[in-house]
Amino acid sequence: MSNFRELLPVPGRTDVDLAEAYAYPLALDRPWVRANMVASADGGAVGPSGRSRDLSSDPDRRVMGVLRGLCDVVVVGAATARQEGYRPVRPREVWAKLREGRPATPRIAVVSRSLEIDDELLTTAPEEARTIVFTVADSPAERRAFVAEHADLVVVEGVSVGPGHIVNALSERGLYRVLTEGGPHLLAEFVGAGLLDELCLTVSPHLLGSGSPRIVTGSPGTPGTPEHVSTKSTPVRMAHLLEAEGNLFTRYLRE
């Protein structure tokens, strides 16, 4: 198992406690939205198979495990959930201290207008960590009834589910430690809405060339539509920079 070498803020340090390095702010009174993404050295977010896991590694999976252990809920778009084969998060013994006083696993929250979600993600989640599904009022009625039977369903009026809807609903449930794993369109919406507090980005030692989507994807579109993405720059500062097996692990906080 490779050690993580700290490049910033303490260069050369190798006794990095990942749970401490990625800890959420204390005494949160609102949802803190953190994104975890992986990209190639030339900026691609999806490998040859069409999945981000092509770019992952053992150290990246260790970080992902810690981030999931720390959070209350993992938010993901339905397309990413299908492509990456999402299932309810499995409990891990190493999470015992991280999750003391909370359910053994975080919830999964899926955003979907069509409700094309794998049934296993809905039906096999433990009762104390039921899957949450965000959808719109004109989603398929029969499918919506099935989802409501097996998961916590949040129905939003309008043409799309926005980041504000997600954050407000999670806040009502006391789920303040939020982790989103994309995909790129959902991440773009959080950035555009000014609701992304933190980005944890793994830079993988691969080159993909042209054609691969980036970690944030979308078009300016029209405000209020699903395609609308703000083009305003969001200043961030680097909280830490780690390295393991040629992978760089960055953590950026919004200014």
List per-block mean pLDDT (blocks of 10 residues) for the chain, which spans 255 residues: 91 96 96 97 89 92 97 97 94 92 96 97 96 97 97 95 97 98 94 97 93 75 45 87 98 95
How far apart are the C-alpha atoms of 169 and 31, rounded to whole Å?
A: 10
Number of C-beta neighbours around residue 98 at 10 A: 16
What stretch of H or E contains 142?
helix 141-150
Structural tokens at position 114: 């069509």
Question: 13's torsion region: left (phi>0), alpha (psi -120 to 50) or beta?
Answer: beta
Whether the bond between 192 and the residue before it is cis, its omega within 30 degrees of 0, is: no
The pLDDT of residue 50 is: 83
- According to DSSP, the residues that pair with 37 across neighbouring strands are 201
The pLDDT of residue 231 is: 53
3-class state of residue 198 by DSSP: strand
* CA neighbor of 183 nearest in space, from 57, 82, 87: 82
- According to DSSP, the residues that pair with 10 across neighbouring strands are none
* Helix/strand/coil percent split, the chain, to 5: 25, 25, 50
Q: What's the whole-model pTM score?
A: 0.93
Q: Helices (DSSP H) in 97-255: which residue ranges?
A: 119-123, 141-150, 163-172, 184-192
3-class state of residue 134 by DSSP: strand
The pLDDT of residue 53 is: 86
How far apart are the C-alpha atoms of 235 and 142, rounded to whole Å?
A: 44
